[in-house]
Amino acid sequence: MKSRNIVALVIAAVAMLHSCIEIDEFAPKQRAAIESYLSDSYYRITADSAFVCLLDNKFGNVVDREHEGAKKGDRACFNVEAYTFNNSPATKPYYTNKRYLAEATFKDMDLSYWDFEPYVVTIGKGEILKPLDEALEGSLVGDSIAVFLTSSIAYGHVAMGAVPKDTAVMIILTVESEEEATSVAE
């Protein structure tokens, strides 16, 4: 009986390793496509290998920052646009909580059940995907931040709704408001 359990564990471990290898085989090609797309832009890479690029700030200059922006423990309120990415972003999002964009994109869908409220998270608490959480650090109100995720970081070897399996994604976070941690604790 013990040997049967050991064999089952070995088979499970090999299957898990094989599925990880399958997912990771797409990452280098997707990373290269993302790097090529961002070649003329400033971007940084998070600890989870996601690419983060500040697109714009609706209140002015994105280069000269007067203060350091949001920190861990601060609360951020933001809207989301999510696109598939295959050498460049898709022209239409597969998800958004921006009403005007959803109405323009998903004309044949009943949007009455959609939640168009901005997301509110405490930065660094793990309430959203880690690369998105990391992208919000240092952000300012008005920032539009593009976060590029290879399939192994996003949905992996699984189709998720309108996103085919093994597909990289670009998620744009538009920061609407922020509240410092000292204000949050009060």
Residue with the bigger pLDDT between 3 and 43: it is 43
Residue 119 has pLDDT above 90, yes or no: yes
E strand or H helix at 17:
helix 2-24
Question: What are φ and ψ of residue 80, in 5° steps?
Answer: -130, 140
Residue 80 has pLDDT above 90, yes or no: yes
Percentage of the residues of the chain whose pLDDT score is greater than 90: 51
Residue 56 has pLDDT above 80, yes or no: no
Domains, the chain, in order of start with CATH, read 2-185 (3.10.50.40)
Q: Residues 106-135: what's their mean pLDDT?
A: 93
Instruction: Give CA separation, 137 vs 75, 122, 171, in Å.
Output: 10, 10, 16
Residue 61 has pLDDT above 70, yes or no: no
> Where residue 64 falls among pLDDT bands split at 50, 70, 90?
low
E strand or H helix at 171:
strand 168-179
Q: Residues 155-169: what's their mean pLDDT?
A: 91
